[in-house]
Amino acid sequence: MTAVPRTLLDYAATEPRYLAWAIDRAESRGLVDFIAIDSLLSRSVGFRGVARLRGALLVHRTPAFTRSGLERRFLVLVRKAGLPQPSTNLFVEGYELDAYWPAERFAVELDTYDYHGGHVAFERDRLRQEDLKLAGIEMIRVTGARMDREPKAVTNRLRRLLSQRRRDLEHL
């Protein structure tokens, strides 16, 4: 027996004309688990069908809830880089995370000086990062200015960090 995410990836690689049908059938039966699919896709970089399955799933995903233009720009960068889409503005361990990959237990906080530049925000942000670390969640910070200045560097580093995080979790 093959798990649904793997079956969908196989269809994407070998039977692309049946992919939409297979996703619809799985969805109608309540078998589409985006976290499991994203986890498989993130482990399958370079395999045939990954990009096709990611694209076919876009129609089935609930649009991400974003609070800002910075979050929307970040999601566009992630999608264009072919990275798995994170959950957005999700509460985890008592904190609302800007972007979170549950399978990797990895978060990105999107920072602007206007929102994170004061003394209170500075202290609060460090405590938040420590609390998440204690809960087993890795977090990085990405600034809006850096996304504008060096979008490829941001996505390349994010790809490496997600991959590293997957390897770290496999060894636990």
Provide the CATH number for the domain around residue 77. Answer: 3.40.960.10
Instruction: Report the DSSP beta bridge partners of residue 140.
Output: 108
86 and 158 housed in the same domain? yes
Q: What is the pLDDT of residue 95?
A: 86
Reduced to 3 states (helix: H, G, I; strand: E, B; else coil), residue 160 is: helix
What integer pLDDT is reported at residue 74 of this predicted model? 92
Instruction: State which residues form the domain around 15.
Output: 4-60
Are 45 and 91 contained in the same domain? no
Would the pTM count as exceeding 0.75? no
The Cα–Cα gap between 18 and 3 comes to: 17
Residues 81 and 44 placed together within one structural domain of the fold: no
pLDDT block averages, 10 residues each, the chain of length 172: 88 88 85 80 82 77 62 90 88 89 92 66 84 94 91 96 92 80
CB 22 within 8 A of CB 8: yes
| pLDDT of res. 66 | 54
50 and 105 in one domain?
no
- The answer to whether 71 and 78 have CB atoms below 8 angstroms apart is no
CA angle centred on 150, ends 147 and 156, rounded to 5°: 90
Question: Do 41 and 110 belong to one domain?
Answer: no
Q: How many Å apart are CA 87 and CA 118, to the nearest integer?
A: 27
Do residue 50 and residue 88 come from a single domain? no
Q: How many domains does the chain have?
A: 2
Does 38 lie in the same domain as 98?
A: no
Domain-ending residue, one of 60, 83, 108: 60
Whether residue 102 is found in the same domain as residue 165: yes
Q: Are 141 and 76 in a shared domain?
A: yes
pLDDT of residue 171: 84
- Verify that 101 and 145 share a domain, yes or no: yes
